[in-house]
Amino acid sequence: MRLSDFDYELPPERIAQHPADHRDASRLLELDRRSGAITHRRFPEIVELLAPGDVLVLNDTRVIPARLVGRRPSGGRAELLLLEPVEGTRWRALGRPGRALRRGATVQFGDGRLVARVVGREAQGVRVVDLEHEGELLPLLEEIGLPPLPPYIDREAQPEDRERYQTVYARRPGAVAAPTAGLHFTPELLDQIRARGVVVGEITLHVGLGTFLPVRVEHVEEHVMHAEHYEVSPELAELANGRSGRLVAVGTTVTRALETVADEAGAIAPGSGRTELFIYPGYRFRTVEAMLTNFHLPRSTLIMMVSAFAGRERILHAYRDALAAGYRFYSYGDAMFIH
């Protein structure tokens, strides 16, 4: 299986640069993965696509303001994207300019309230940095950090992004990218879903490098996923295992976590850890029966996952259909419900 099998042409102007005026104002493409039938809807119609007894699973991770812009001792600008804590005051991070961030280099942020020193380097350009600061780190990041918007959003972060690049149910800080399928929900819409008899549960998967790292090998099977931290509670496992309807994953991150903890029969075991699960065509899904997701980058692990779920040809056909119908793509774009 080749990387080029998951390519498609996307005009740059179809990449959403800003969120919709209202969270639930986005469009929704419904794809029946058995028949291939496509229906164009508005996102609030997701309520009608869910049935009493279904269990809808959300990812409650919260995006931290992990993008830091600072100065080197020379006065030159430098940026860090914090990825995840390692141990003590050490974090994994991506940085630029890469040549200036060798071992021993320091960068000051927030008028010196946070100092990062490069202490090591790992694969794929990841640096290990030691962070020096007073007080708790997360409140300091809220003051001096920026929302880590993806690189295809070609603008600086704005005040609205602090709220809109975050789900309304985000509560557990740790992600460096939003679980974007959940960005469309409002509290009112979730209330309507619950009133319909759908059970709503939560898992945690802190979105990190594993989700957005580019695939650099031509043979898909050779790609190695970067591990991401997940937590699945006993309460969620009980809800999922006792359901009378479908298990519906909101996003690829939820799908990855649930499939990680499911056994061969589809039963979910509670637990926490780090998952390196890479889902691409040929994978047999154990427990997820429907998926809400956004439209993903060409050649990405995410388009491979949805292709595994619905079939590569059906996904690429649906993407072409969405382009013809004027859908907006990627993080701030429209959504797709696959069942």
Cis peptide before 148 (omega within 30 of 0): no
Beta partners for 336?
A: 29, 293
Residues contacting residue 322 through CB under 8 Å, at least 6 positions apart = 29, 295, 329, 334, 336
- The reply to whether 79 and 47 lie within a common domain is no
Give the pLDDT confidence score for residue 215 in this predicted structure. 86
Q: Could you tell me if residue 152 is inside a domain? A: no
Q: Could you tell me if residue 150 is inside a domain? A: no
CATH of the domain at 134: 2.40.10.240
Task: Give the SS3 label for residue 305.
Answer: helix
- The reply to whether 216 and 309 lie within a common domain is yes
Tens-digit pLDDT string for the chain (339 aa): 899 999 999 999 999 999 999 999 999 999 999 999 999 999 999 999 999 999 999 999 999 999 999 999 999 999 999 999 999 999 999 999 988 899 999 999 999 999 999 999 988 789 999 999 989 999 999 999 999 999 899 999 999 999 999 999 999 999 999 999 999 999 999 999 999 999 999 999 999 876 667 888 999 999 888 889 999 999 999 999 999 999 999 999 999 999 999 999 999 999 999 999 999 999 999 999 999 999 999 999 999 999 999 999 999 999 999 999 999 999 999 999 999
- The reply to whether 231 and 300 lie within a common domain is yes
* DSSP structural state of residue 15: B
Task: Give the SS3 label for residue 198.
Answer: coil
- Of 144, 179, 198, the one marking the end of a domain is 144
- The reply to whether 196 and 318 lie within a common domain is yes
Q: What rounded mean pLDDT belongs to the chain? A: 95
Give the pLDDT confidence score for residue 210 in this predicted structure. 64
Q: How many CB atoms lie within 10 A of CB 50?
A: 23
Give the pLDDT confidence score for residue 94 in this predicted structure. 92
Distance separating alpha carbons of residues 177 and 276, to the nearest angstrom: 17
pTM for the model: 0.94
Q: Could you tell me if residue 149 is inside a domain? A: no
Q: Could you tell me if residue 241 is inside a domain? A: yes
Distance separating alpha carbons of residues 90 and 129, to the nearest angstrom: 6
- The reply to whether 248 and 331 lie within a common domain is yes
Which residue from 201, 307, 213, 316 is spatially nearest to 254, judged by alpha carbons?
201
Q: Could you tell me if residue 151 is inside a domain? A: no
- The reply to whether 240 and 175 lie within a common domain is yes
- The reply to whether 129 and 188 lie within a common domain is no
Give the pLDDT confidence score for residue 53 in this predicted structure. 98
- The reply to whether 240 and 287 lie within a common domain is yes
Residue 255, domain extent:
3-63+162-338
Give the pLDDT confidence score for residue 278 in this predicted structure. 95
- The reply to whether 79 and 46 lie within a common domain is no
The DSSP result for 213-275, as a single string, is PPP--SBGGG--PPPEEEEE-HHHHHHHHT-SS-EEEESHHHHHHHHHHB-TTS-B--EEEEE
- The reply to whether 185 and 288 lie within a common domain is yes
What's the total number of domains in the chain? 2
Distance separating alpha carbons of residues 106 and 87, to the nearest angstrom: 19
